[in-house]
Structure 1
């Protein structure tokens, strides 16, 4: 959903026909999205810094009456609007990404208070990053359609001929700067997420990615 660098090409992220899928794909998709929203809530409650997109979400939420989850949904819809000129195609995972994460992050944030001690802050931060990587691997691995921000990243890479790494970096630096100017939390968690999320997701992905069976 949020521009994670994993070795899945834009072609691989396009939805695979559900009729050929084993029964575990949909449960894996929804489990991954619920865990993703949970990980986002954990990081916001740590108070030690957020990933670039969540810095933007927090900055907007702080200046509007919208909840954090509602802001993630609104920005996701805005990003989806950019798909049309990029000729990206959504899948069931794309729609679920918008709705499930928005509801989950608000529910977990409601149940989870802000951390008051450094130990609990670090626990929420490290746990949130680990869970975020596992969740990303789960929903991407289900291969039922990319998240809105993933599709923007791969779409721009396809259209411009630039590498996914370069496009991702440009998008996230822009989002981070705007979010910081709006008052979003930038800190050690932001740096930790940037350094750890790619390798961690890459570690989990081979265990969760779905591939169609080879014909007998």
Structure 2
């Protein structure tokens, strides 16, 4: 009896490595944007604003908000995957850990460099964990679920959600600035590029068994 091919386990291992490397990098890159002090992406503006009001860390707020958003999946009949649940916890925890290690920076050059690093690495992280195909993050799943249930365009749904959390975060004291604009302009093209880079290639078909000559 032939032994099973080792390729599927290796493929699963690669997917898991991509998933958790992507989530870790996402949390770290988000922390870079915080330390750059030039403005955050819309959801982190909201997380930071809530953190300012509650005294919680921004990572803890990210975990709590992610869990609450995941509850909104229930009426939308969205089904979470391993990546969805991992996203809720991993990103916020890594974000807080990175903030504990990386100090604030001063000066336009240092802030700009950290901002650029944060945005680019965030694009890398998005490509990694989405290409792993273990399910969307809770916020992305909310967007796609509302798109499917309402029939509105994905762009309109995303703009509405992110515009709402950005405005709420700003009113709560979250950081909005040039970094917010840079993130909004760059993250789409970066994510699309790195999704192609990290896409999993289809498995090669099993080779056909060698023909056995018929007995003479």
What TM-score, normalized to structure 2?
Answer: 0.88
Q: Looking at both structures, which has the greater relative contact order when contacts are Cα pairs under 8 Å and sequence separation is at least 6?
A: 1
1:87 aligned residue = 77
1:158 aligned residue = 148
Counterpart Cα distance in 2 of 1:209 and 1:84? 29
Residue pair 1:143, 1:209 contacting (<8 A) in 2 also: no
Counterpart Cα distance in 2 of 1:198 and 1:171? 16
Which consecutive unaligned segments of at least 5 residues does structure 2 have? Answer: 1-7, 207-216
Indicate which of 168, 188, 191 corresponds to 1:201. Answer: 191
Question: What's the CA shift string for 1:121-170, capped at 9, x where partnerless?
Answer: 10110100000000001000100011000100100001111111111011
Q: What is the aligned residue count?
A: 199
Question: What's the CA shift string for 1:162-183, capped at 9, x where partnerless?
Answer: 1111110110000100000000
| 1:213, distance to aligned residue in structure 2 (A) | 3.2
Which consecutive unaligned segments of at least 5 residues does structure 1 have? Answer: 1-17
In structure 2, do the counterparts of structure 1 residues 146 and 20 end up closer, same or farther at CA, with 3 Å as the change threshold? farther
Counterpart Cα distance in 1 of 2:85 and 2:154? 23
| 1:215, distance to aligned residue in structure 2 (A) | 5.5
1:98 aligned residue = 88
1:64 aligned residue = 54
1:53 aligns with 2:53: no
Counterpart Cα distance in 1 of 2:33 and 2:12? 33
What TM-score, normalized to structure 1?
Answer: 0.88
1:133 aligned residue = 123
Residue pair 1:46, 1:115 contacting (<8 A) in 2 also: yes
1:3 aligned residue = none
In structure 2, do the counterparts of structure 1 residues 20 and 199 end up closer, same or farther at CA, with 3 Å as the change threshold? same
Counterpart Cα distance in 1 of 2:41 and 2:11? 32
Indicate which of 23, 32, 52 corresponds to 1:33. Answer: 23
